[in-house]
Amino acid sequence: MKFSVMVNEGPYNHQASDSAYHFTKAVLQAGHEVFRVFFYHDGVNNGTRLTTPPQDDRNVVARWSELAVEHKVDLVVCVAAAQRRGIADADEAKRNGKNADNIAEGFRISGLGQLIEAGIVSDRLVEFGD
């Protein structure tokens, strides 16, 4: 079965990103396909590589990055939501006249059309949020 996942809350304050991660991993381990993970609302905050959690805690962002690298999962951060919250890749930073970018490995920034597309082509779109 083809799944897509939507993450609507940021890391650490809310379990949505943790649950979405465990769900995505379980889907892959069960042999299903994950077409895309889409980060929206405060969920875009899962895509900053500047996250520095205490060493005795999980690294939510790094976990997603590892999943993207290991399983070629498409992690997409919504551009409009990202602009509001200060998440940028090199292109976005340049386009908006910012002096830094912070996107984490394995994430890419794109538009809301990617979410609609995920809803259309996937057998299930599973949303994690409040």
Q: Which residues bind other proteins (CB under 8 A)?
A: 6, 8, 40-42, 80-81, 84, 111-113, 115-117, 119-121, 125, 127, 129
Closer to other proteins by CB, 101 or 117: give it: 117
CB of 69 to other proteins, least distance (A): 28
How far apart are CB 58 and other proteins at their closest, in Å? 26
- What number of CA atoms fall less than 13 Å from residue 19's CA on the CB side? 15
Q: Which of residues 68 and 81 has its CB atom nearest to other proteins in the complex? A: 81
Query: Given 67, 78, 88, 118, which residue is catalytic?
Result: 78
Integer CA distances (angstroms), 124 to 4, 21, 33, 40, 111, in order: 6, 16, 11, 17, 20
Shortest distance, CB of residue 84 to other proteins, whole angstroms? 8
Helix (H, G, I), strand (E, B) or coil at 33: strand
For this structure, is 78 an active site residue?
yes
- Residue with smaller CB distance to other proteins, 4 or 48: 4
From its phi and psi, is residue 76 left (phi > 0), alpha (psi between -120 and 50) or beta? beta
| Strands of the 2-7 sheet, one edge to the other | 107-110, 75-78, 33-39, 2-7, 124-128
Residues annotated as catalytic (active site), given as ranges: 78
